[in-house]
Amino acid sequence: MKRYFVLVALFCLGCRNIPSTTPVHISLTDSNRSLKITGIDPVILNDINRDTVKNWQSLFAIYRLPADTDAKDYQPIQPGQYQLKDSAVVFTPDTPFVKQQTYFMRYYNYAGNKSIWDYVQGKTTKGQLHYTDLIFKQ
């Protein structure tokens, strides 16, 4: 009986759903006019791309970094266009990135949470989200 319990326990441990921890990378592209975002799970990218709303900002959003970094959570989102190209998302702002201006991309980490769609559909609040800020400069 103990052997069966041990086998079942080992089987269950092997079946755990461990979220992927692929790092997200950003880089300026197209003569520093666009931001290329890589390292996102392709399943998530394709699901968002198929959505008619295409709410890319629910996964990551681009902001200007203010001089007073204590106020960075209160910045407006940088408007622009998101396009899926191969396994990367390319963000092109409506107005070009300003030289010597620092920006940041807030990447919302959905690992360990219920579902990405809970956040896309607005079923959870901003305070419940886990995120990483990636800083870049034009």
Which domains are seen in the chain, by residue range? 18-137 (2.60.40)
Q: Please give the pLDDT value at position 126.
A: 52
pLDDT tens per residue across all 138 residues of the chain: 555 444 444 444 444 444 444 588 999 999 999 999 999 888 888 888 887 667 788 888 999 999 999 999 999 999 999 999 888 999 999 999 999 999 999 988 765 455 556 556 665 555 555 788 999 997
Q: Please give the pLDDT value at position 46.
A: 83
Burial class (CB in 10 A: 0-12, 13-18, 19+), 26: buried
**Residues 63, 65, 68: CA angle, nearest 5 degrees:** 140
DSSP 86: T
Longest CA–CA span in the chain (Å) reads 69
